[in-house]
A and B are shown apart, each in its own frame.
Chain A
Amino acid sequence: MSSDLELPPGVLQPRDAVLNMAPYSPPTGARADKLRLDFNENTVGVSPKVVEYLRQHLTEATLAMYPEYTDTKRDLGAFFGVDTDDFILTNGTDEAIQVLINTYIDDRADVLLLRPSYAMYRFYAELAGATIREVPYRPPKLSFPLEELLEAIKPSTRAVLIANPNNPTGTATSRAGIERILEKAVNAAVLIDEAYFEFCGVTALPLLQDYPNLFVSRTFSKAYGMAAMRFGCLFSQNGNVEFLSKAQSPYSVNSVAAMAARAAVRDKTYIEKYVTEVLAARELLYVGLETLGIPYYESKANFVLFQAGDRAIPIRDELRRRGVLVRDRSYEIPGCVRVTVGTREQIRRFLSELGEVWR
């Protein structure tokens, strides 16, 4: 592929892959005072109990030392029901993706992705020099393309990277579907990225001991409301974990995050309440969109993709002007805008603004 883009004078010709990449469309700074429905975060923040725990435990002595992960790994292992040798701690999911790719992907290795999906899979795979093949989500509902994916898996496939539920489509596959992928992709590292697990409930973690090719990632940046702390986990059988640790930067997880995660998994009620609120708000959002006559894709996560036709970018911009931030996804799914689902109150405000913009 080549691009018709004209480069400014003096700019070095990048690879076609880069030229053809859709421009990242970041919020234009100053998110702080807006209704931020653009990054799929927890819209009310981390549990107050975590804040309280940290305030008590942020001491000179704990912070002066290089991070010590033993207690965190013990508590998290117990929480997830796995041995401490079955996972590494990561600086969010991005590090998990990169560590997995660093461990298994050589130049020109065959890597299978779904389209559209989380952009960093492709990004890190390209960094590693992989040969990337993509299977599209199935129209019209953007449902999980299980048969097409199974068909695409080859004996030479070295990695299959799947977000479940998927960002930005919000759609997911079942545990049975994941098992079929694991059984077919015997020579590949199969990553099930469960960043939005809490809103969906389907997890591959119980399959860990049955499939040596299974890798599961979790993050504390979404439901747990700890995006700026930088904490996640990457799970696999302990034989694999040994190699994953080798490919990881030393001490990539900071002590505050490691302490926060321990406090976070103790406060189960907070997450349950937040998830319940989000699921109620998601129903409210569906009803509101239907009332406005706006088509949407049913989601298993804390965000919903809706169809704005040729108005995706103007609608995003007009909402921003009114203090509501959402993400344009029309560059990967024509006409689509993605809105993070927060509380019912926030969704009412969003619907009211959208209603005025839409007319």
Chain B
Amino acid sequence: MLTRRDLARNFSLIAAGIAMGGEAAYAQRRKIKGHNADLVLLNANENPDGPPASAIEAMSKILAKTGRYHDEDNDQFNELLAKSEGLQSDQVLVGCGSSEILHCAVDAFTSPSIPLITSAPAYELPVDMAAAQGHPVIKLPMTPQYGADVHGMVAAADKAKGGLIYVVNPNNPTSSITPKADISWLIENLPANTVALIDEAYIHFAKSSQMASAIPYIKQNKNVVVARTFSKIYGMAGLRVGYGMGRTDLINKMGVFRNNVISLTGVYAAKAAIAEPTLVPERREKFGKVRADLCGWLDSQKIGFIQPHANFMMIDVKRDVRTVIPAMMERGVAVGRPFPPMDHFLRVTIGSDADMARFKQEFAKVMQV
């Protein structure tokens, strides 16, 4: 992991201007005033299971040592992550959630003339970060199958003489995937001065044979950065641990823009979670079942949706979703906000069986109105 002392060494890479990111758009729960414990939270794509017990135990044990700075533990964690992905430690950058990695990539690879190129809709944080700095943003419609339009993205980067191409895979909010053949084409055809940022926050939930990680392209020295997080399948959104992977020179360029340091408790929780080889497959299986059950129910109700690959899905409500969201809230179920231009789609997080039973019950009532 890069530390402050590394920052000083890498000073020459620094360009002026650090992202000015609005946080309000991401902090959905803050808008829910005075919510009670019965509220079913299906709005923020969190994992209701939380971290595994081993992670909580590891945190409890390390608490007494949190009085000291722990650069060496952070360095070791960096090495461990690298090893777990088959990379070198200088090909990994740890951040406070993957949001910090996205933030660093925007700072490092966009400029007043080099755009951020993304899909509409996709996760908005990088868009807001780029826009706040006055860097251009190009949003392209998705393909009819709700994949990223990789051909359009490459053409846009070519025209702008460079760019940061941002692909969320599986995508948020659509829960759809960009097939591996398209990712491969994208990376093979990147124009000069262009970096592909592949956000794999939700990859652990995907089961499709069409889905593949972009990490192998890092080993081929391509201009690709992959972002991952412990906030989703690992259930540690509160701990703020994420990481980015890329060629050493790309990681160094991003590292100087990092603002924050992760906590020692976060390091130990993540280490414990990685050490459990069955955690991810078991959770993938479990969420897959709940998701398949919801899809089956929606089919039986003749309600349309986009085929989901993550721990949330987009349901076609065939009316302005702005009328559905408050109606669900009144009935004690918090669901996702609107994602223009997909104004007729409702994003719902896949929670526990009990959460989904409650969702179906209330959603059926709301849809009949």
A19 to B65, CA, bound (A): 36
Chain B proximity mask over A70-91: 1 for CB below 8 Å, otherwise 0 = 1000000000000000000001
A252 within 8 A of B: yes
Answer whether A227 and B63 are a contact pair too, CB < 8 Å, given A123-B7, A250-B26, A252-B240. no
Answer whether A66 and B260 are a contact pair too, CB < 8 Å, given A18-B12, A250-B99. no
Residues of B within 8 A of A240 (CB): none
Give the number of residue pairs across the A-B interface with Cβ within 8 Å.
221
Residues of A within 8 A of B66 (CB): 45-46, 225-229, 260
Contact of A227 among B22, B56, B67 (CB under 8 A): B67
Residues of B within 8 A of A95 (CB): 259-260
Q: Do the beta carbons of B68 and A245 come within 8 Å of each other?
A: no
Answer whether A21 and B11 are a contact pair too, CB < 8 Å, given A45-B64, A64-B48, A65-B29. yes
A194 within 8 A of B: no
A294 within 8 A of B: no
Q: Do the beta carbons of A92 and B63 come within 8 Å of each other?
A: no
A29 to B97, CA, bound (A): 26
Q: Nearest chain A CB to B316's CB is how many angstroms away?
A: 27
Residues of A within 8 A of B5 (CB): 24, 26
Answer whether A256 and B99 are a contact pair too, CB < 8 Å, given A18-B11, A63-B50, A225-B67. no
Among A52-60, A183-191, A331-339, the one that faces the other chain is A52-60
Which B318-363 residues have C-beta < 8 A from chain A? none
Q: Do the beta carbons of A31 and B72 come within 8 Å of each other?
A: yes
Q: Nearest chain A CB to B32's CB is how many angstroms away?
A: 10
A30 within 8 A of B: yes
A44 within 8 A of B: yes
Residues of A within 8 A of B8 (CB): 18, 21, 24, 123
Chain B's closest residue to A25 (CB) is B5
Answer whether A39 and B72 are a contact pair too, CB < 8 Å, given A59-B56, A67-B238, A250-B99. no
A102 to B133, CA, bound (A): 11
Contact of A254 among B24, B41, B259, B266 (CB under 8 A): B266
Residues of B within 8 A of A230 (CB): 260-263
Which A79-126 residues have C-beta < 8 A from chain B? 91-92, 94-95, 98-99, 102-103, 107, 120, 123, 126
A155 to B235, CA, bound (A): 51
Task: Count A interface residues, CB 8 Å.
Answer: 73
B131 within 8 A of A: no
Chain A proximity mask over B36-48: 1 for CB below 8 Å, otherwise 0 = 0000010010111
Answer whether A228 and B264 are a contact pair too, CB < 8 Å, given A14-B11, A55-B60, A123-B7. yes
Q: Do the beta carbons of B263 and A228 come within 8 Å of each other?
A: yes
Contact of B68 among A36, A68, A99, A255 (CB under 8 A): A36
Chain B's closest residue to A247 (CB) is B20
A248 within 8 A of B: yes
Q: Nearest chain A CB to B208's CB is how many angstroms away?
A: 25
Q: Do the beta carbons of A62 and B60 come within 8 Å of each other?
A: no
Which B91-114 residues have C-beta < 8 A from chain A? 96-97, 99-100, 103
Q: Nearest chain A CB to B339's CB is how many angstroms away?
A: 17
Chain A's closest residue to B44 (CB) is A66
Chain A's closest residue to B12 (CB) is A14
Q: Do the beta carbons of B63 and A54 come within 8 Å of each other?
A: yes
Residues of B within 8 A of A221 (CB): 69
Q: Nearest chain A CB to B43's CB is how many angstroms away?
A: 10
A251 within 8 A of B: yes
A21 to B22, CA, bound (A): 33
Q: Do the beta carbons of B51 and A63 come within 8 Å of each other?
A: yes
Q: Nearest chain A CB to B121's CB is how many angstroms away?
A: 18
Residues of B within 8 A of A314 (CB): none
Which B1-43 residues have C-beta < 8 A from chain A? 4-5, 7-8, 11-12, 14, 16-24, 26-27, 29-30, 41
Q: Nearest chain B CB to A267's CB is how many angstroms away?
A: 14
Chain A's closest residue to B50 (CB) is A60
Q: Do the beta carbons of A64 and B97 come within 8 Å of each other?
A: no
Q: Do the beta carbons of B237 and A249 come within 8 Å of each other?
A: no
Q: Do the beta carbons of A24 and B4 come within 8 Å of each other?
A: yes
A260 to B266, CA, bound (A): 13
B236 within 8 A of A: yes
Answer whether A257 and B56 are a contact pair too, CB < 8 Å, given A51-B63, A60-B50, A228-B70. no
Chain B's closest residue to A230 (CB) is B263
A210 to B48, CA, bound (A): 45
Residues of B within 8 A of A14 (CB): 11-12
A26 to B27, CA, bound (A): 37
Chain A positions near chain B (C-beta within 8 angstroms): 12-15, 17-18, 21, 24, 26, 29-31, 36, 39, 41-46, 48, 50-51, 54-55, 58-68, 70, 91-92, 94-95, 98-99, 102-103, 107, 120, 123, 126-129, 221, 225-230, 245-257, 260
Can you add 5 more A-B contacts, CB < 8 Å, to A63-B235, A226-B66? A45-B65, A46-B66, A64-B49, A98-B18, A251-B23
22 A-B residue pairings within 8 Å (CB atoms):
A24-B4, A54-B59, A54-B60, A58-B59, A59-B56, A60-B51, A61-B48, A61-B50, A63-B51, A64-B50, A64-B51, A64-B235, A64-B236, A68-B29, A91-B259, A91-B260, A128-B17, A227-B67, A229-B264, A230-B260, A250-B97, A256-B239
Chain B positions near chain A (C-beta within 8 angstroms): 4-5, 7-8, 11-12, 14, 16-24, 26-27, 29-30, 41, 44, 46-51, 53, 56, 59-60, 63-73, 75, 96-97, 99-100, 103, 125, 132, 231, 235-240, 256, 259-266, 269
